[in-house]
Amino acid sequence: LCTVLLFCGPMLTSCRQVTIFPPTLTFHEGGVATFSCNISMGHDSGSEYSLNWYKETNHSQGQKIAEMSQNNPPTKTEKYQLTNHTPVFKIDILNLHQNDSGSYYCGLITLFEPDRVMESNRSQLLVTAAPKMNPTEEPETEESNPSDHIKAMLLGILLLVGVVLLLIFGYLTITYRRGDVQKPPSENMRAEEKPAVVSISTVDYGVLEFQRDQCTQVPPETWAVDQTEYATIIFPEEKPVTPQRGKKHQD
């Protein structure tokens, strides 16, 4: 208690503390590591201060990697992202590599105070190599891909629709054939089996008599023997003759 009083001053509540957590972190390459620094200012919260982040490698001197004041908004760089949740400050180390391994700590810098710098404890970060992809595990990842399941389901639906359409087509075909069988023979008769219309040409004969000219007087002794002349006239049949009509003509 006496030691605390000597270091903290006459008022215990005004003691400052800076702590970093978690104490250790382990990540693979490509991940994101997050450290948080908690500042306890006691009743002296009106003091102006800023916070620095440091990194040590192989117990070397700490190297400053980022800085943030108490009123700064969140900032982000290519490697670090800083967030201010006073009295807690967070740092995200992005896109980890193996050379990011080391000790990290934060330092509180108080302005207009005799004890201006106060460092926190150290936290360890270990970055390991990214795990190698096992070739035998690739088919399993492909099978677990949701898009492959969706494609397989769509293919199954299409096959099912095709089978249903084939069944409907077969049913309609069988029904149509049964309807043809049940029709009267006259309706199912093919065109070539129907009686053909026969066109028959007929010849009608007539007798024409030619009278002698009454105007010319021929002496009796010179008269010629009476003669009768016949002429054959063919009248074409315009209407087609059916077998019944042809038989009538023959009668």
Answer yes or no: is 219 within a domain. Answer: no
Range of the domain at 121: 17-128
The pLDDT tens digits for 53-95 are 999 988 788 899 999 887 888 889 999 999 988 889 999 999 9
Total domains, the chain:
1
The answer, yes or no, to whether residue 238 has pLDDT greater than 90, is no
Q: Using CA atoms, how far apart are residues 84 and 39, in angstroms rounded to an integer?
A: 12
Which segment of 36-45, 57-66, 150-159, 235-244 scores lowest on mean pLDDT? 235-244
Most confident of 6-10, 73-77, 183-187, 242-246: 73-77
Answer yes or no: is 24 within a domain. Answer: yes
> Residue 138: CB partners within 8 Å, gap ≥ 6?
none
The pLDDT tens digits for 180-201 are 666 555 555 554 555 566 666 6
Answer yes or no: is 70 within a domain. Answer: yes
**H or E segment to which residue 2 belongs:** helix 2-8
The answer, yes or no, to whether residue 229 has pLDDT greater than 80, is no
Answer yes or no: is 120 within a domain. Answer: yes
Answer yes or no: is 171 within a domain. Answer: no
Confidence of residue 230 (pLDDT cuts 50, 70, 90): confident
- What 3-state DSSP class applies to 27? strand
Answer yes or no: is 225 within a domain. Answer: no
- What 3-state DSSP class applies to 124? strand
* Cis geometry, peptide bond prior to residue 74 (ω within 30 degrees of 0): no
The pLDDT tens digits for 127-180 are 999 888 765 555 444 445 677 889 999 999 999 999 999 999 999 999 888 876
Q: Check residue 6 and give its pLDDT.
A: 42
> Residue 148: CB partners within 8 Å, gap ≥ 6?
142
Residue 99's Cβ-count burial label (10 Å; 0-12, 13-18, 19+) is: exposed
Confidence of residue 210 (pLDDT cuts 50, 70, 90): low
0.85 exceeded by pTM: no
Average pLDDT over residues 198-217: 59
Higher per-residue pLDDT: 213 or 125: 125
CATH number at residue 78: 2.60.40.10
The answer, yes or no, to whether residue 9 has pLDDT greater than 70, is no
Answer yes or no: is 96 within a domain. Answer: yes
The answer, yes or no, to whether residue 121 has pLDDT greater than 50, is yes
Answer yes or no: is 91 within a domain. Answer: yes
The candidate with the shortest Cα–Cα distance to 92, out of 143, 31, 133, is 31
Confidence of residue 249 (pLDDT cuts 50, 70, 90): low
Confidence of residue 125 (pLDDT cuts 50, 70, 90): very high
Q: Check residue 177 and give its pLDDT.
A: 85
Q: Check residue 87 and give its pLDDT.
A: 87
Q: Check residue 111 and give its pLDDT.
A: 75
Kindly state the tokens that stand for 84.
Answer: 């201010």
